[in-house]
Amino acid sequence: MGKCRGLRTARKFRSHQWDQKWHDESTALKANPFGDASHAKGIVLEKVGVEAKQPNSAIRKCVRVQLIKNGKKITAFVPNDGCLNFMRKLYEETL
């Protein structure tokens, strides 16, 4: 199967280019805040409550963290009951 040809193929070309962007390894690594690593260290900036989608009315306990390696700010979920009490501002945590 070859390339699309003709006057009405611009949308197909554009969508195919958008899909193929994620097959490029450097683009995928740039989009991931951890880069190529499985873990990263960061500094806790603030505690945040993230609301769940409908019909659930829960508030998920999260922290806003700035990664040390690249300075990107991400929101990280805090697991288990009461673990948010151990998080303090400007503490260094491993994600």
Nearest to 72 by CA among 29, 42, 50, 94: 42
For the question of whether the overall pTM of this predicted structure is more than 0.95, the answer is no
Within 13 Å, how many C-alpha atoms sit on residue 32's CB side?
Answer: 13
Q: Over the stretch 46-59, which tens digit does the pLDDT of each residue have?
A: 998 888 888 988 88
- Residue 2: pLDDT above 80? no
